[in-house]
Amino acid sequence: MQDEARVWLRRLTSGTATTADVEALERWRSQSQAQAQAFAEAALLWDVTGEATKVVLNRSPILADWANSNDNAHLPRRVFIGGGAALAASLVGLAVIRPPLNLWPSLSELGADYRTRTGERRNIEVSGGVSVELNTRTSIDLRRSTDGIDAIELLTGEATIATQAGSSRGFSVLAAEGRTIATNASFNVRKDGDTVCVTCMRGDLQVQYRQSVAPLQERQQISYDARGLGRAGSIDPKIVTAWRQGLLIFRDAPLALVIDEVNRYRPGKIILVDSQLGRREVVADFRLDRLDAVVEFAARVMKAPVRSLPGGIVLLG
């Protein structure tokens, strides 16, 4: 069945697939849940390796010619063998730089001044009475000036920063071309890829992104990404920082968002196979030390089929 799924995937990605092929695939997938799951797993593997393969092919003219050739069977055997070895080695190298499914830290994370592992939290005291609490899978670098450490760079993950009450010295958090500046405040900064979200719990902040600047007050949140700096909005800080109390709190959140959040805290990966299921809303609190309850919740309350795979990978839907 897995072999059949891979044959279907190769046919659809061949560049010659027709509407009839797509209709035939849908008939094959609908014959049983097992066949639908087999195709989902094959598509997942393709998604994990596909982008890396494209990069390797773009960097290797020989492999690109071989991949694009309509008559690649006539290439010399030494090119095929050598190219295959080079492809495998390159994929391993790319997996170290950008791990599939984020199953392990990237090189930039491994080289950070401070880093937390999956499910780990850590407190750091920075000079000038500034405290930093790192959430799971978080990496930061310290930025030093002549007067000491006056900034951190959030490479990935999430941190809560508190400056000393009454301090007149500014402290900054750098993240994805942006800067958050505080003098007497407590705030949370989260970086997911190129998207950064800043939440103010106490005091006042100034958030800068490229040429834009926005003030942020207590119980407000703002985000920025490649599209620019967004608008500040009201937020409940207790929900944003529930992780500090060992909780995840969701209020009318789509299951897809819940799964994305839970994946930050547990080894492996929970993968939603059914996109329609992912749109269903969830109101629930989960303990970080009992995250298997999320899978149990989806299976029991949402009637989602569950399939466990090696490496802590769970398929839902």
- Which architecture, in CATH terms, is 246-316? 3-Layer(bab) Sandwich (3.55)
Q: What CATH number belongs to 109-237?
A: 2.60.120.1440
Top-ranked range on mean pLDDT: pick from 51-55, 265-269, 301-305? 301-305
Where along the chain do the CATH 3.55.50.30 domains lie? 246-316
Residue 219, pLDDT score: 97
Where along the chain do the CATH 2.60.120.1440 domains lie? 109-237
Q: Which are the contacts of 297, defined by CB distance < 8 A and separation ≥ 6?
A: 282, 284, 286
Amino acid at 127: S
Residue 129, pLDDT score: 83
Please compute the mean of the pLDDT values over residues 70-99 and round it to a whole number. Answer: 42
Burial of 35 (0-12, 13-18, 19+ CB in 10 A): middle
Quote the mean pLDDT of the chain.
79
| Between 261 and 11, residue with greater pLDDT | 261
In contact, 122 and 290? CB cutoff 8 Å? no
Task: Give the number of other Cβ atoms within 10 Å of residue 162's Cβ.
Answer: 19
pTM: 0.68
